Structure 1
Amino acid sequence: MNIYGVTGWKNAGKTGLMERLVTEITGRGMTVSTVKHAHHSFDVDHPGKDSFRHREAGASQVLLASRNRIALMHELRDAPEPPLADLLAQLAPVDLVLVEGYKRDSHAKIEAHRSITGNPLIAPDDPTIRAVASDTALALDRPVFDLDDTTAIADFILRDLGM
């Protein structure tokens, strides 16, 4: 499975870049799935709903299905967070999996960077970051793209993966 990451600090433009890349790459006829890491507790369920009640009652997994989509919720119940490789193994085969977050994992990544955040670049100290997408010109030892040049960024990722 081809995997490529989009990483960066908070408010760097990662989610917008991910969204544009999915649109661009699926528009080229390829299949894409995404994995998003959240650093905080999140819930896709709502109190009072049947599936929420199942989880609250102690179910380890709840599969919610309709004719439009399915969602599988797995309660960790104090178990450690699974590594990215375990999560990827649960995905159906696609041409490309784009991963948002997971800065410390070893897959190839592009760093999203916005100068207004004042955060330092991650790339200089991380060889897994193959390029940077930024809203400002940068002098680096790897390619730098305009954060909004989705076509060029997608071309680079696909070429870097040999696709």
Structure 2
Amino acid sequence: MGSRGMVSGRGFRRSGRVRRTPTSAPLPVSGARTDSRSNYADGSVRSEQSSFRPAVCQVVGYKNSGKTTLICELIQLLQSKGCSVAVIKHDVHGFETDRPGTDTWRQREAGARAVAITGTEQSFIFESRSRELAELIKAFMHYDYVLVEGFKEEPYPKIVLIRNAADLELTARLPGVAAAAIWEDPSGSIARCLPEGQRRFGINDISEIAEYLWRERSFFQNFNI
């Protein structure tokens, strides 16, 4: 996370209450783990539940709070434990991923509302509509973790990134806040203003955040979808 040196935060309590409801298992998604008999890198057994209910964690915060950087670091650490990771990103400003002149671009320009392209190692779907977060998560049900960047108002468990005191309102206002990652000393003045019971980490405590997601993966699996 660059040169932003933060003091490690430890010993805080797990918090958050998530409604538990059973879900049905969709068809497997290419690239995800589907073998419930296989083990994680630490030797623990991947249960039937973990095969069909990913641990979902939102990473939220205001612009330039470090969301993408944190997620990229977490992907590598979770994969090192033998986990498959999918990412969903929310972009309120609009985006364009298909280059002008390609076959899929020409097909969409001709009026196709959706175009899919697949090869031996990758697939892409271009669709002219927005999707709800719950629908996107269902497409990744066979991954071990789904990390979500943004979608602040959604009810899934969240890690909120706090750069300054003005950002503290997110921890009180947003639903499902389980932890905060703070740009200052996590035992400093900003941390003391956090709601009681919320876990807190320094913004550079990547290994501790990954361990938290790993240790509490059953909590992050029990989302309402």
Matched residues, percent identical? 31
- Of 187, 198, 208, the residue aligned with 1:152 is 208
The Cα RMSD (Å) is 1.7
User: Are the structure 2 counterparts of residues 27 and 65 from structure 1 closer, same or farther at C-alpha, using a change threshold of 3 Å?
Assistant: same
**Does the CA-based 8 Å contact 1:9-1:119 persist in structure 2?**
no
Count the aligned residue pairs. 157
- Of 119, 133, 140, the residue aligned with 1:91 is 140
Aligned residue number for residue 177 of structure 2:
129
| Amino acid in structure 1 at the alignment position of 2:179 | A
Aligned residue number for residue 28 of structure 1:
81
User: Are the structure 2 counterparts of residues 103 and 31 from structure 1 closer, same or farther at C-alpha, using a change threshold of 3 Å?
Assistant: same
- Of 129, 137, 162, the residue aligned with 1:113 is 162
Runs of 4+ in structure 1 off by over 6 angstroms are none
- The whole-number CA distance in structure 1 between the counterparts of 2:87 and 2:213 is 15
- Of 50, 54, 57, the residue aligned with 2:110 is 57
| Amino acid in structure 2 at the alignment position of 1:69 | Q
**Does the CA-based 8 Å contact 2:154-2:175 persist in structure 1?**
no
Gaps of 5+ in 1: none
Aligned residue number for residue 40 of structure 2:
none
Aligned residue number for residue 150 of structure 2:
101
Aligned residue number for residue 68 of structure 2:
15
Counterpart secondary structure, 1:45? coil
- Structure 1 position 67 matched with structure 2 position 116: no
TM-score normalised per structure 2: 0.65
The structure with the larger Rg is 2
**Does the CA-based 8 Å contact 1:31-1:95 persist in structure 2?**
yes
Gaps of 5+ in 2: 1-52, 186-190, 220-225
TM-aligned CA deviation for residue 160 of structure 1: 3.0
- The whole-number CA distance in structure 1 between the counterparts of 2:103 and 2:213 is 41
